Chain A
Amino acid sequence: MHQITKIAGYVTIILAVISFNFFLPRFMPGDPLSFLTGAPGMDMPIVLDEATRAKLLAYYGLDKPLLQQFADYMIKLMHGDLGWSTYYNAPVSSILAGRLKWTLLLIGTSTLLYIALGIVLGAISAWNRGGKSDVGLLLLLLSVGSFPPFFLGMLLIILFGVKLNLFPVFGAQSPFMAYSSPVEEAMDILHHLILPATTLVITHIGGVYLLMRNSMLNVIGEDYILTARAKGLAEWYILRKHAMKNALLPITTMIALRVGFMISGTILVETVFAYPGVGMLLFDAVMYRDYPLLQGAFLIITLVIIAANFVADMVYLRLDPRLRHD
């Protein structure tokens, strides 16, 4: 029953996002094409050739009634047709497909890292509450957490990329590189990944850390921790075996929501590092006022996040023994 409500909720949200994506350009003053051809206030008017213009017109289908337009839009979406990019002059879906893997790589690695680190540091902090390590960690993580990701990225570029010359400062791979082995390619990709991933980890670790610390402070006061102490178990063992899981349960869904916030950071970080993911694409689409691309990228990003939240919900159901059996 619980799962059905959850799934229904997700379906509604996906539908809401799709409808929003459909109606937004149509409800703006003027019509979508007037934006494309340089509406007043735009700093960069776009000149469209006739062929592109025709493709766009066909995609939006503005001459048909609104309901018909919506139905067509949905059908095209089912077939993976996200429209035609005016800047790249290619189907939006194929551009996105090429970019998505880099974003997933970047988000995947940094998410795993910042969640794991945040949880461990939060637990350690709470366990030593009021002590030097707790106060130190709290101040450090609150401080680094207030760096906007784009500013932090620029600082890391200057320090590690330019001054120390340790890491490449843009792209996901070295350009024009012929790899002699897959290992070499992987190393090159990893080398490019380190700075952007570090930026994301630093900007997001504070949130998870604080959640875990607060949750852990609650758990520490629980009777079963006292029971564990009364058994003569070592502190470290109690922390790991008795406290961590109980502290994690109530914050799983909140951590999952943070994965959603994460995408904001990714857009900025990809832009700063010219990392060729969907976020960078979003920035390009804004720069060149490529609206179909913008909307396509938005849709994909949102769906990825909703999927991540869904997975987190399911994980939560498996984690809590009280929910697993019922």
Chain B
Amino acid sequence: MTLLKLKRLRTCFPTRDGLVKAVNTVDLEIGANEILGLIGETGCGKSILGMSIMRLLQPSTRIEGEIIYKGQDLLKLSEAEMRKIRGKEIAMILQNPATALNPVLTVGDQIAEAIWLHQTMTKREAREKAIEVLRSVKIPSPEKMANECPHKFSGGMKERAMIAIGLACNPALIIADEPTRGLDASTKEQIIKLMKEVTEEKSMLFITHDLDAAAEICDTVAVMYAGELVECAKTGDLFGKPLHPYTMGLLDSLPCRGLKPIRGMSPSLIDYPSGCRFHPRCDYASAICEKKHPEMVKVEDRHYVRCFMYL
């Protein structure tokens, strides 16, 4: 059962230096109860992809294609209708909880306002529900902490509070943007365990550049490079036998595999290299890679890759 389906999604926005083509013709599906990992280097457009689904980007941004959620195209909804989706149907956990929580409101209020908005209940009931949610993300003495402002929370606790805000209205889909960034190893472990637990009956788009975290939590993983998907497979397949040279490179750069970085730098989203966008950094590049842009091909059951080696 498909919950969310992206069809030829393109997102671009103007800047002083030129048009940023952050998301380029992305096709993607998330099934019910599926956790899909979206991995790639910083600046490859993966966060913009998440924001595009929520329609949270600047008004000057152009989003094309279709975002089909439960059969309706989110891009065709009015702003008011979209607000009913945000938080209630699809929730987003933004990166960097240190700045993503409002410093002058209590954490309890920041959770309760979403509940109160989307569900018919009194402010008092919303508040009790908020404490319940805080308890579910394992915040110690939630009754007390609900009345505190974020500066009383540690880094890990802030991340839990962000997750609590996401869970507040029991959404069907959660988009988590780099939830483990900047956390120390043991806190990261706990947060991943927590996220696994709370998304047992939900779908999640897990955006990260942390391959370990993705391997641990995701059912399926999509690899993004320079605004487009280059490989997509079940987690075991992708990490077990990666097909795209970029995915291989990413895996080789992990500490357990010898810390070999990919040579070169990731391209800017304004000017792409011709042909295959990865060819200037690719060890397997041949003449055709420079001239022609490869299409995504199905290599095995549910294993797709964008590379001429498999054509």
Contact = CB atoms under 8 A, between A and B. Distances in A.
User: A–B direct touch, CB within 8 Å, in complex?
Assistant: yes
Interface of A: 222-224, 226-234, 237, 241-242, 245-246, 249, 320-322, 325
Nearest to A249: B104
Interface in B36-92: 54, 56, 83-88, 91-92
Question: Which 9 residue pairs of A and B lie closest in terms of their CB atoms, listed nearest first?
Answer: A232-B86, A232-B87, A231-B114, A231-B87, A223-B100, A224-B102, A230-B92, A223-B99, A321-B149
- The number of chain B residues touching the other chain, given as a range, is 20 to 34
A232 B104 contact: no
A227 B100 contact: yes
B102 A230 contact: no
Contacts of A249: 104
B105 interface: yes
- The secondary-structure label for the interface of chain A is helix
A237 B94 CA distance: 20
Interface in B149-187: 149, 151-152, 162, 165, 168
A301 to B, nearest CB: 34
A232 B114 contact: yes
Given A230-B92, A231-B87, 8 more contacts: A229-B86, A230-B54, A231-B91, A232-B86, A233-B113, A245-B105, A321-B149, A322-B151
Residue among B85, B100, B102, B162 with max Cβ neighbours from chain A (10 Å): B102
A204 to B, nearest CB: 26
B118 to A, nearest CB: 7
Nearest to B175: A230
B117 A321 contact: no
Nearest to B152: A325
A232 B87 CA distance: 5
A226 B85 CA distance: 15
30 contacts: A222-B99, A224-B99, A224-B100, A224-B101, A224-B102, A224-B103, A226-B94, A228-B102, A229-B56, A230-B54, A230-B92, A231-B86, A231-B91, A231-B117, A232-B83, A232-B87, A232-B114, A233-B83, A233-B87, A233-B114, A237-B113, A241-B105, A242-B105, A245-B104, A246-B102, A320-B104, A321-B103, A321-B104, A322-B149, A325-B152
A249 B102 CA distance: 13
Contact of A230 (B56, B84, B99, B105): B56
B50 to A, nearest CB: 10
A325 B100 CA distance: 22
Contacts, number: 73
A56 B303 CA distance: 100
B56 A242 contact: no
Contact of A242 (B99, B102, B118): B102
Interface of B: 54, 56, 83-88, 91-92, 94, 96, 99-105, 110, 113-114, 117-118, 149, 151-152, 162, 165, 168
B101 A230 contact: no
Contacts of B85: 232
Given A232-B114, A321-B151, A226 B100 contact: yes
Contacts of B100: 223-224, 226-227
A92 B274 CA distance: 85
A313 B281 CA distance: 58
Contacts of B105: 241-242, 245
Contacts of B118: 232
B104 A227 contact: no
Nearest to B80: A234
Contacts of A228: 102
Contacts of A234: 83
Nearest to A242: B102
A249 B149 CA distance: 15
Contacts of A241: 105, 113
Contact of B117 (A223, A233, A325): A233
A322 B153 CA distance: 12
A227 B117 CA distance: 15
A126 B101 CA distance: 21
A211 to B, nearest CB: 18
Given A226-B94, A242-B105, A321-B151, A232 B99 contact: no
B94 A223 contact: yes
Nearest to B55: A229
A223 B56 CA distance: 12
A290 B21 CA distance: 73
Given A321-B149, A322-B151, A230 B103 contact: no
A227 B158 CA distance: 13
